[in-house]
Amino acid sequence: MPVRPENDSFERIREQIDAHQHVVVLSHVRPDGDAIGSQLGLAHGLRALGKDVTLLNEDGVPSSLAFLPGTDTIHIPNGTPVAAEVVIAVDTATQPRLGERVNQAVADVPLWINIDHHVSNPRYGHLNHIDAKAPATGEILADLMETTGIPISPEAAENLYAAISTDTGSFQFPSTTAKTYRIGASLIDKGIALGRLNSQLYENYPYRRIELLRELLQTLELTADGRVGSWRLTQETVKRLGLEPDDSEGLIDHVRSIQGVIVAVFFEELPNGKIRVSSRSKDERINVGDVCAHFGGGGHPLAAGARMSGPIEDAQAKFLNQVYESLEGIH
């Protein structure tokens, strides 16, 4: 696909949406709140325009997000190609992150639109709108929809608000801006039951998640004079507790919140033996996106991830050594 350094305008994207009838909207593997909320928020708007919309996700909807309106319309690919005219990929930094089955399902779709907020996004769409300053893809989509007149129903607003809230740590992360609050307020004005939504997002965890937190705390290590905090999750623990992939979502913030910690890292052993690394930085001088890029990953300067070869102890040692190098001269 041709790579253009500049963003396509919201109006250009709306023109392409208007010019086609069948749209398929995609989000990344192991989807989080921004992925699912963005996917559904846009889908509600497109359906209000009379579009035929297909929603695919490689892993389906996490149980923790199943309450969001419209999640029953997101499907796991079944091997059947999708005869759509346009693909819109949201919150997905690279095309492979959509998943092998999803990419196979949409391989024959002629037009790709790529909307994302990851600075590492290589602009794999025919049309691209990548805003690395936006704290969530949901914010970009809410802006796009409001600007171009795509309807935002209460259901769409609830999904977009969930997308923004979860990717900003409930509007607490440094990437949150005044614009983020303004867009959040505008979505609340659409008719969101805010108390109920926040309760379902942040006060409705299964007990096994608390058991997981207890297990993770047993592996917590503070190194580099307390500036680096890390913990690890093995497959043995996953099987023993009967964990689901999204049970660990957001738990890294417990490490990040420790006084004195600058970099927090979560090492998770996957069923295939690979190690999933999630990292967070509290100091703009420490770019964890660059650290993760050293291992083939990427993301944002203050939040990034990578996949590494196991065993988990080796991956932890290699990654932390790279973190320690980035801390040199930082006090």
* Domain boundaries, given as residue ranges, for the chain: 10-202, 207-327
Q: What is the pLDDT of residue 127?
A: 97
Mean pLDDT (whole number) for 182-194: 97
Average pLDDT over residues 152-169: 97
For residue 88, is pLDDT > 60?
yes
* pTM, full prediction: 0.91
What is d(CA 208, CA 194) in angstroms, rounded to the nearest whole number? 26
Domains 10-202 and 207-327 share a fold: no
User: Bigger pLDDT: 2 or 30?
Assistant: 30
| Contact assessment for residue 246 and residue 276, using Cβ atoms and an 8 Å cutoff | no
User: Is the pLDDT confidence value at 257 over 60?
Assistant: yes
Q: What is the pLDDT of residue 6?
A: 85
Q: Does the 207-327 domain belong in CATH 3.10.310.30?
A: yes
* pLDDT at residue 18, rounded to an integer: 98
To the nearest whole number, what is the mean pLDDT of the chain? 96
In the sheet that holds 263-269, the strands lie side by side as 221-223, 228-233, 263-269, 275-281, 303-308, 298-299
Per-residue pLDDT tens for 59-82? 999 999 999 999 999 999 998 999
**111 confidence band (pLDDT: 50, 70, 90):** very high
Please say if the pLDDT value at position 1 is more than 90.
Answer: no
Q: Can you tell me the distance from the alpha carbon of 25 to that of 38, in angstroms, rounded to the nearest whole number?
A: 10
The model's confidence at residue 298, banded by pLDDT at 50, 70 and 90, is confident
CA dihedral sign of residues 285, 289, 294, 295:
positive
Q: Using the predicted structure, report yes or no on whether residue 264 has a pLDDT greater than 70.
A: yes
- Strands 263-269 vs 74-75: parallel, antiparallel or unpaired: unpaired
Give the model's pLDDT for residue 3.
54
Does 205 score more than 90 pLDDT? Answer: yes
Q: How confident is the model at residue 4 (pLDDT cuts 50, 70, 90)?
A: low
114 vs 97: CA distance, rounded Å: 13
In percent, the amount of the chain with pLDDT more than 70 equals 98
Domain at 10-202, CATH class: alpha beta
| pLDDT of res. 329 | 78
CB atoms within 10 A of CB 11: 10
